[in-house]
Amino acid sequence: MTTRARLTRSDWLLAGFNALAEAGPVALKAEPMARRLGTTKGSFYWHFADVPDYHRQMLSLWAEGAVDHIPEALADQPTPVARLRLLGQIVAGAGHPTLGTLQVEPAIRAWAREDAAVAAMLAEVDAARIAHIQTLLNEVEITNPEMARIIYAAHVGMQDLSTRDDGDNTSPMGSLVDLVLALR
């Protein structure tokens, strides 16, 4: 008789991101998630108070990784131009410190269109990211706030395209950053 490893909170959260990316928010309920993981709803309720708590914890994990790792990743760059270029590469890679390359952000954006709490969290993440881009642009003496929004909108659109065509956004994002830098 083999014993199965006990599922952790992280197992449930990561499975939730996979389910969200594959099937949308309808899959983020206790019973469908338990079936997906081959366990009981009791395991779900051991880790989460209820489904809204599960959603909040998923969103917190995503938001934390979606913003917090960027300044640390840029800290070793010697110049503002190098930081801006590396930022372009980071967002083009769309990697998340916890979720890796799972393309969950377009699914979160779709979820936000039907859930006010998700929309609020997404708005916070978007604002923080745009502010960070604007700070980097200010450092290279590009002060037009529209440029930060343009770069960010390109990032969002490229992520969405990549969910359909699996395209590599590194070169297009690099070209956009170079075009913006040429405005100096």
pLDDT digits (tens, 9 = 90+) for 125-161: 999 989 989 999 999 999 898 999 999 999 888 888 8
Give the number of domains in the chain. 1
Cβ-Cβ contacts under 8 Å for 48 (sequence gap 6 or more) = 9, 12, 54, 57
Q: Looking at residue 183, what DSSP letter applies?
A: T
Per-residue pLDDT, 1:
45
pLDDT digits (tens, 9 = 90+) for 130-139: 998 999 999 9
Q: The domain that contains 128 carries what CATH number?
A: 1.10.357.10
CB atoms within 10 A of CB 124: 14
Which pLDDT band, with edges at 50, 70 and 90, does 13 fall under?
A: very high
Does the residue 48 lie in any domain?
yes
Does the residue 2 lie in any domain?
no
Does the residue 4 lie in any domain?
no
* Domain boundaries, position 114: 9-181
